[in-house]
Structure 1
Amino acid sequence: MAFMLSLLMALVLVSYGPEGSLGCYLSQRHMLDARENLRLLAQMNRLSPHSCLQDRKDFGLPQEMVEGDQLQKDQAISVLHEMLQQCFNLFHTERSSAVWNTTLLEQLHIGLQQQLEDLDACLGPVMGEKDSDLGRMGPILTVKKYFQGIHVFLKENEYSDCAWEIVRVEMIRALSSSTTLQKRLRKMGGDLNSP
């Protein structure tokens, strides 16, 4: 009986994640990383935003996607992951390395990578068999189109300092909005895999 109780206790402990909750859970560290990434983006400015007013553009941030009020849990996790992955890719190019302070840029890469790793633990169980269907879902395509517009803008403006400054400000806006989605996912509690 004592052996069975010990075995049961061990199984329960293994089932719990580092934050003490069953299933997928966005840790407090994930939220701190999100705030730190916003702080880093704010520190990266090199130009006065006023000097680039002529280059401003409305990229059509999909507010309903990044705030997630109408998304199911699996969609919300996928949208957040896509937002972070696209932002990571955007700032992880040779052209962005030439523009930004390399120390701040590297810290941003690390912070975004950490957030992506946190979400990978959630994304695996959520996606399961629906992997290919989830990639085609409207919310993910909307986020991809949003970032495609940003890439086109940079290319059309020949990756100028002002173009990057406009994009930096836009990423602050996008990631700030996505914190609403992250908070919603945290409030959903430990098991994000339930309907």
Structure 2
Amino acid sequence: MAFSVPSLMVLVMIFSSPISSFSCDLPQSLDVGKQETLTMLGQMGKISLLSCLKDRTDFRFPQEMVEASRVHKAQALSVLHEMLQQIFSLFHTEASSAVWSTTFLEQLLSGLHRQLEDLETCLLQEMGEEESVLGMKDPTLALRRYFQRIHLYLQEKKNSNCAWEVVRGEIRRRFLFIHVLTGKLRK
């Protein structure tokens, strides 16, 4: 049985479009950006974390974030966007500029900004499709509280080098969570 050209075009369009209701694929550039950011955070270390053991603290990363497999795609995208935005805001302060190398800090912020831009289109598209899901419970509220604890910690420690080193280590661990979350979003 031979198909006409228009029929073949329709079949190609049907089979190349997303089957699920989620029509957004995470850009591959997000994966590259995550890896670059993680590498940059690793290179930023100025002092040994061992010399800052007395400054370590538990920022209490929200447990519901760890159980992200039960979160809808739009909520997971929202969490991912919020995390990147909060990390950008954390390092985009005068206090962080006093601690970190300007070159490293500019590269880190530039990479985070690109990741946010890559993610925003996808987030807006998914939010439009799943507004009712997002209305159920805002998963980013606990995330904002978590980052508020980090900000308060830095204030209490007067933005010391050790405090920033502890925070840098914490953010590196969160990028491992981001990696897992984006992997779940790609399934």
* TM-score interval, normalised by the smaller of the two chains: 0.7 to 0.9
What aligned pairs does 1:17-166 form with structure 2 within 5 A after superposition?
23-65=23-65, 68-128=68-128, 134=134, 137-166=137-166
Pick the structure with greater CA Rg.
Answer: 2
Q: CA deviation at 1:66?
A: 5.1
Q: State the AA in 2 paired with 1:76.
A: A
**Deviation, structure 1 residue 27:** 2.1
CA distance in 1, matches of 2:112, 2:77: 15
CA contact under 8 A between 2:72 and 2:133: conserved in structure 1?
no
- Fraction of identical pairs, as percent: 52
**What is the CA–CA distance in structure 1 between the aligned matches of 2:67 and 2:150, rounded to whole Å?**
20
1:54-91 CA distances to partner (integer Å, 9 max, x unpaired)? 00000011254156212111100000000000000000
Task: Say whether the 8 Å CA contact 1:66–1:79 is kept in structure 2.
Answer: no
Deviation string 1:87-117 (CA, Å, 9 cap, x unpaired) is 0000011111111011111111111111111
TM-score of the aligned structures, taking structure 1 as reference length? 0.80
Equivalence for 1:192: none
Counterpart contact for 1:66–1:180, Cα < 8 Å = no
Aligned equivalent of 2:3: none
**C-alpha separation in 1, matches of 2:55 and 2:136:** 32
Deviation at 1:175, TM superposition (A): 1.4
Stretches of structure 2 that go unaligned for 5 or more consecutive residues are 1-5
> Normalized against structure 2, the TM-score is what?
0.83
Kindly tell me the number of residue pairs found equivalent between the two proteins. Answer: 176
